[in-house]
Chains A and B, each alone.
Chain A
Amino acid sequence: MLFATELVGASAYDSQEHFVGRVREFFVEPAEQPNRISHFLISRGRFQPLVARYDQVAKVAAGRIDLNVSERSLDAYKPNEGWLAVQKDLMDQQIIDTEGRKVVRVNDVDLAVMRTNEHVELRITQVDVGLPGAMRRLLQGIAPPALVRKLQGKLPQRSIRWEFVNLIEPDPLRRVKLRITHEKLEDLHPADLAEMMEELSAAERQGIIASLDEETAAKVLAELDERLTTQIVEKLDPEKAADILEEMAPDAAADLLADLPKETSEELLEEMPNLEAEEVRELLSYDSSTAGGMMNTQFAYVSEASPREEVLGWLRKQDFNLEQLDTIVLVDAHAQFSGTVPVARMLLAAPEQLMSDLKTEPLVSITPDANEKDVFELFDKYNLRMLTVIDEERRPIGTVTVDDVVSRLVNA
């Protein structure tokens, strides 16, 4: 095994044992092979730098590379956007460890040496994010290599396998060329991803959100610190931003839009489908510190006269998020609020039992202009999981759920 640090500055000799120059950089060409070092950049002082392909390398050791061709058959170096530069793009940069769900900084890159008949290939096996790599970087070229190798054995190892490394590239064109996808990030919990994004730079955050699918992006934005959310949404392409907003729960979308400058939020609302935009607009009209500002307008409500089985059948056909199905709102014959039924109670009830029999007592509701403090007090007093918001005519217009209350209390 070799370390990238041991190869930087290595002397390169050609097939006639002539000194060619020093290795300054090496590249991976992800479009060809995701972990193979495909090219070595050999600098020759004031002469034009050359580049050696992986199949032109005969032998590699710490500090020395032997080529199997003569110097004349090497190409002149031309920058290539599709090459990942190990020194520049990987060393010292932040990466996402998709397994450990953390943002870490690369100290060194571990390379495995693979021999074939004519040449030697280097494959990236893992990136070093621990102390051994840091020490190598510090002592390389100062202390004798044998001593460095001996010292590093005493230090605790911390490395990440190459397949779990998710690179972060803000430039979308380069991202495509380097075959960087964020599919693995989409499998992470949105809250974990949001937390990791806070460690990154503004441009990197932007790049990640832009490349996630809308549904994941919406979930991540809902978890992210609101100051960052507004910065990200403002910079997104309005069409993409509107698509993401559409995926969000209306209350979360409204919270986000409320923090944006008026022109930007108007523009985004224009881009959204009318129905969703209307809902969000209505929520925006409430002060954020009131029950109206906390409520979600997507909720399940049924007639109190329906039997339990019929309601279940109807719910199955609807497209509700699970969070919205914790409690069902009941309305009477005048479409006025008449109570709530926890789904847990429906679970235990007989199929023919009427919803009105399963109601929670006492009847608790609140008006949209009520202060958030009143909301907290009701949740505390009645141990609520959900509170119905009603208008002047006692019609249910939204619900406040316990997770809304918890996040308000934590972020207060």
Chain B
Amino acid sequence: MNLTTINNLIDRIRGRTLTFFSAGNQWRRRIALFLAVIGPGIITSNVDNDAGGIATYTQAGSAYGYSLLWSLIPMTIALYVTMEMCSRMGVITGKGLSDLIREEFGFRSTFFVMITGFLVDLGNVVAEFAGVAAAAQIFGVSKYIAVPLAAVAVWVLVLKGTYRQVEVVFLIACVFYLSYLFSALLSHPDWLLAARMTVIPTIHFDVSYLITLTALVGTTIAPWQFFYLQASFVEKKVGPRQYPQARLDVLLGSISCMVIVFFIIICTAATLHASGLTNITDAGEAAKALVPLAGKWAALTFAFGLLNASLFAATILPLSTAHVICEGMGFEAGIDHKFREAPAFYWLYTILIVVGAGIVMIPNVPLWKIFIFSQVGNGVWLPIVVIFILLLVNRKDLMGEHTNTVMFNVVAWITAVAMIVLTFVLVGQGIYQWARGVPG
């Protein structure tokens, strides 16, 4: 079976599903309308649960058990509020976030966004390929085989597919996140306690608890996702009439993302934390520790989830970066273009993957330094991007009647300020760690 056959198959499945629903009664038609738009929101928010994210959730669950679960609800709101603004801008203006920043804030701001974006995302791409390496190790595959294979697969997918085809593959990857549901089930958590801890906040005022809380928020809301989300709504050509469906897509995305985080935390809480293993710092280590505690299958589903998440994010992060830079510079961008039509876009994509995967392949490379570096970069990048978003979305000349309502602005600014403060704490902690010269 060659690539064209696979791509045609994907298109056929998509077409059949749409036809099935649009031919039915009112409800089925409504689902068809939604299916035509679904994708960007669900994909973007699920990619938040990437290798770095899973490591953080593992840390949170193993160190503090169920007691950080309450933070998921405010995080869902923050995720939804920020992403909804970008989806709205994409749908109403038909332009990417980088496009708008360039047009409204000039070249220097855009250049800053492009350069930080490139460096931060490169660090993140390295983290994703490190995630692939860690997962492969659990399946007994050497990273020197797994990482190049992953890089090629990811590269070919975007190069040879159209936007619609790639999107279907991404949506399937989203479904694979459910493997964490199985890891959670197999580790027999205390569901009642978990539910109670989710609704009732418990705050401890010790430093490392607060730092873990901060990291949780920091890994979940990242600047690259705003660019990717808005660019995909634009590339998908979703218009104002489909805005309600786009919003639903973002809402479902935010919720599903947090449900997965919930499963990861309770899985590690019920096993690692319960047996006193509170010092687990990465996902690979967690998966290995799961074997004696919850059985081989719990560990394998956990590792599979990590592999899926890493591959998925290793595709989307370079894509997002390529969008940021090409839109800002006025180059052609988008998966629907061919290499020849959008050379800058595909070259950026290629470079990020090659360099990202290459760094992981270097023996004994101090990866944690790269992660701290990208975390700090994120902290510098995020406030600026979020403020740009808030300024742009309130511009009457761009958004017409679709600017934020007063209520929404209040929530959005509170979210923005809280996120900025939390990220700065994280940056400070990262610099402290760097200065001490020890990982973790």
A201 contacts partner chain B, Cβ-Cβ < 8 Å = yes
CA distance A202 to B95 in the complex (A): 8
Query: Which parts of A31-77 form the interface with B (CB within 8 Å)?
Result: none
Q: How far, in whole Å, are A362 and B99 apart by their CA atoms in the complex?
A: 56
What is the bound-complex CA distance between A25 and B271, given in angstroms? 65
- Give A185 Cβ to nearest chain B Cβ, in Å: 18
Interface members, chain B 119-158 (any A CB < 8 Å): none
Residue of B93, B99, B106, B330 near A202 (CB, 8 A) is B93
Q: How far is the CA of A93 from the CA of B111 in the complex (A)?
A: 15
A105:B94 contact, CB within 8 angstroms: no
B103 at the interface (CB under 8 A from A): yes
Let me know if A104 and B239 touch, CB within 8 A. no
Q: A205 CA to B99 CA in the complex, in Å?
A: 16
Q: Is B340 an interface residue (CB 8 A)?
A: no
Give bound CA distance, A228 to B239, whole Å. 8
Q: Does B329 contact A (CB under 8 A)?
A: yes
Any A CB within 8 A of the CB of B276 = no
> Across the interface, which residues of A come within 8 angstroms of B108, CB to CB?
137-138
Whether A227 lies near B239 (C-beta < 8 A) is yes
B107 at the interface (CB under 8 A from A): yes
* Chain A residues whose C-beta falls within 8 Å of the C-beta of B103 in the assembled complex: 92-94
Interface size class of B (residues with CB under 8 A): 20 to 34
In the bound complex, CA of A91 to CA of B330 (Å): 12
A261 to B239, CA, bound (A): 14
Interface members, chain A 120-177 (any B CB < 8 Å): 129, 134, 137-138
Whether B11 is near chain A, meaning CB under 8 Å from some CB there, is yes
Q: How far is the CA of A129 from the CA of B329 in the complex (A)?
A: 9
B-contact bits for A81-112, CB 8 A (1 contact / 0 none): 00000000001111000000001110100000
- Judging by beta carbons under 8 Å apart, are B102 and A231 in contact? no
Known A-B contacts A137-B108, A138-B108, A202-B240; the reply to A94 vs B330 at CB < 8 A is: yes
Contact A92 to B106, CB < 8 A, known contacts A202-B239, A203-B93, A230-B239: yes
Contacts of B111 in A (CB 8 A): 134, 137-138
Q: Which residues from B are CB-within-8-Å of A215?
A: none
Complex Cα–Cα for A227 and B36 (A): 11
Instruction: Closest A residue to B236 by CB, please name it.
Output: A227
Chain A 228-246: CB-based contact to B (< 8 A → 1; otherwise 0)? 1011001000000000000
Check: B15 CB closer than 8 A to any chain A CB.
yes
Contact of B94 among A93, A134, A205 (CB under 8 A): A205
With CB as the reference atom, state the residue of chain A lying closest to B400.
A203
Chain B residues positioned under 8 Å from A129 (CB to CB): 330
Task: Give A290 Cβ to nearest chain B Cβ, in Å.
Answer: 13
A to B CB contacts below 8 Å, 14 in the list: A91-B106, A92-B102, A92-B106, A93-B103, A137-B108, A200-B94, A202-B92, A202-B93, A202-B240, A225-B237, A227-B237, A234-B241, A261-B241, A289-B19
